[in-house]
Structures are given as C-alpha cells and as structure tokens.
Structure 1
Amino acid sequence: MFENAGSRLKAWLVAGIGTAAALALAGVLGAFGARHEPMQLLAPTGRIETGQWLLRPLRAYTAEGENLYGAPLKPGARALVFEVEMTNRTAKSSKDYFDVLQASQATVDPSSKPFIVLTRDSTLSPELHPGMPERMAYIWELPGGSAPPASLDLTVIRKTYKQRDNLYGLPGWFNPAPAGTLTLPVGSGPDTADIQP
C-alpha cells in the first residue's frame, strides 16, 4: 500500500516538475517572440548606411538585350536592374558588396545571383575605392516568359566592424544582419545614353 502511494507521489512530482519546466520554457520563448520587431522600412530616396557602404538608391527597371552594361545575359533575356550609388566607407578598396542587397523571393529566384556592374565603364564586379561614390547596377536575369514585377523589394544587409574577430584575431566586417527593407517601383527600360557597350 505504501509502495503504491510512494510510486504515485513520485509520478506526480515528476509530472509537476516537467509541467513547470515546460511552462517556464514557453514563457521564455514567448518573451523572446514578443521582443521580435518588424524590419525598418528604408526610404527609397534617402541614404542608407550599412557599415562598409553608404548607399543611395537611384532607380529600378526591366530591360531586354545582351549588352545591358556588358552583363553576360542570354540572347533576348529580360533583366531586372537596380541602380544605386555606392560609397566605400572603409580605408581599403573593396568589392565586399555581393550580399549587401538581397532581392525578395517574390521578385527573383533567390538562387540566382545578380551581375554587379560599374555603370560608367561596364566593369563587372570591380573593387570600389574609399570615399569615391560610384554608380553600380545590380542585374538579375528573369526567367523566360515571366511577367516583369511591379516593384523591387530588397533587404539591405549591414555588417559590424570588429578590431579582432573571435576565430583569427584579425580585423574585419562581421555579423551580417538586416538593416531594413527597401521597395522601389519598377520602370521600363534604361536611358539609352547610360548604357555602355
């Protein structure tokens, strides 16, 4: 009789401790969930700081043709283009801008990477020198037969400078995180005077 009572008491205690632990965990997770804030909406006409880069959005449009700023597009392909003025805010020339802008899945296939071109001379993925604003074009090739999007939705990624990283003890830009989202209307075609063969 006492053995049965002891077993029952033990089972209730274990169940009670398990329930209390589950409630505590749910409370902690709920508290973290409540702290999650929506991403900042960035002004499409303002300047955006990302740590390494100062960005000034210019325009977004779709265009067709093989010679769009010299980007190696397929013949007859349609492309989505985002032009932006970029200023390198660091002390060294850099081309660490491949992930500073991420197009939304609704706009382009997330597995497709853009061609990034210096518009003034059609140099593909150049190093940008410190303190010199340069006009760049991010060019995504759109799938054949797809309708051009009405808007371009981008997530802007920022990084933090650390004098020493935890792995190698060297300085650099680390911890990429979203700075906010940017939405621009998509026009049709570039100014032909801007395009360099």
Structure 2
Amino acid sequence: MFKTARSRFQTWITAGAGTIAALLVAGLMGAFGALPAHAPPQLPPDAAIDAGRWHLKPVRAYVSRAKVHGVPLKPGQKALVLEADMTNRTAQSDKAYFNVFTPDGLALPDGLPMVALARDQTLTPELHPGMTERMAYVWPLARDAIVPANLSFGITAEVFKPRDNLYGTPGWFNPTRLGTVTLPVADLPDSPEGGS
C-alpha cells in the first residue's frame, strides 16, 4: 500500500511538473509573440540590393501629372513613379516583380502598380536572366494626394527552395519585407510624356 501511494505521489508530481513546464513554455512563447516586431532595416538608397529572385538598385522617384512611360492617367490623377535597375537572378524569363516595391503611407487606389520597361515603354515585360533593365513602377494617385518630399519604399524579397513542402517542386517562396529604402521625390512639371 505504501508503495502504491508513493507511486501515485511520484506520478502526480511528474504530471504536475510537466503541466507547469508546459504552461511556462506557452507563457514565454506568448510573451515573446506579443513583443513588437522589429522594423525592417533602412537600406542605403545608392546601394545594390539582393532581393532573392531580383537584384535591385533604386534610381529615382518622382510625381508626374501626364502620361508617363506609356501609362496613361485618367482625368484627376497623377502618378508616383519609381525607376529601378533590376536583374533577374533566375534561370528563366520572369515578370513576378509587381510586389517588389511598395510605397509606404500612401493610399493606392489601384493597389498594384503598372510596370514598364524604361527604354521602350513596354508594359509588364518579361525580364531575361542576367540582363539588367531599368524598370518604371507607376502608381496612379488622386490628383490631390499628398506625396512627401522623401518617401520610403518597402522592398519584398523571396527565398529559393529546391523543394517546397506542398508539391516538392523548386521555386521562390516566403515573400518577406527585406527592408526600406527612402528616396527624394521630384515633382515633374506637366509635359506630354513626363519621365521618359
């Protein structure tokens, strides 16, 4: 009987200790999960950036009130334009670049930008492996939208996996905010084809 009581006591202590340990771990994980996330780093505006699938170098940002890089504007609109040199680091032609740059703090009525090849105004071109091209990201805005003199652009990067967990195929996954680059924003005078 003494042995049975002792055995029950040990079982109770072990189970209680396990429960307490589990509660402590869960509490710590919850506490760390509640901590504010670190802000993405501020990247230098004049440096080349490795964003996984893309190699980037932001060049300039400006506001245009006229058709720019072949992107027409509706009446009552202006455009925020970011030009960047981009190199496709993959082995095949690709145009999965729409979410690479995001202007911070602006209400974007159309969400995704129009993207054009700066040299010939081709819209949404495929970028070929290893060829650096200057791309123009064009976000239409309301004409009275306030664009700050210096604007931060978030940069999204992806990682390459030789096999993903779902299909077992290679690809670029896990888009995450790599950092932020801040550029001065010029205000172009009205012209028939600003920014070209």
Which TM-score bucket, shorter chain as reference? 0.7 to 0.9
> After superposition, what is the alpha-carbon deviation per residue over 1:112-167, rounded to whole angstroms, capped at 9, x for unaligned?
22111101010011000011110011111111322332222211111111111111
Whether contact under 8 Å (2:87, 2:133) holds in the other structure is yes
Q: Distance in 1 between matches of 2:122 and 2:175?
A: 26
Deviation at 1:193, TM superposition (A): 8.7
Q: Which residue of 2 aligns with 1:139?
A: 138
Deviation at 1:25, TM superposition (A): 3.5
Give matches, 1:87-126, under 5 Å: 87-104=87-104, 106-109=105-108, 112-126=111-125
Structure 2, unpaired ranges of 5+: 1-18
Deviation at 1:185, TM superposition (A): 1.2
Q: Distance in 2 between matches of 1:135 and 1:42?
A: 19
Give the 3 Å change call, closer, same or farther, for CA 184–23 of structure 1 in structure 2.
Answer: same
RMSD: 2.7
Residue 60 (str. 1) matches residue 61 (str. 2): yes
Give the 3 Å change call, closer, same or farther, for CA 182–110 of structure 1 in structure 2.
Answer: farther
Q: Partner amino acid for 2:149?
A: A
Q: Which residue of 2 aligns with 1:45?
A: 46
Whether contact under 8 Å (2:109, 2:141) holds in the other structure is no
Paired residues in the alignment total: 177
TM-score by length of 2: 0.79
Deviation at 1:182, TM superposition (A): 1.2
Structure 1, unpaired ranges of 5+: 1-17
Q: Distance in 1 between matches of 2:37 and 2:77?
A: 40
Q: Distance in 1 between matches of 2:143 and 2:75?
A: 11
Q: Distance in 1 between matches of 2:93 and 2:110?
A: 27
TM-score by length of 1: 0.79
Give the 3 Å change call, closer, same or farther, for CA 38–77 of structure 1 in structure 2.
Answer: closer
Q: Distance in 1 between matches of 2:164 and 2:94?
A: 19
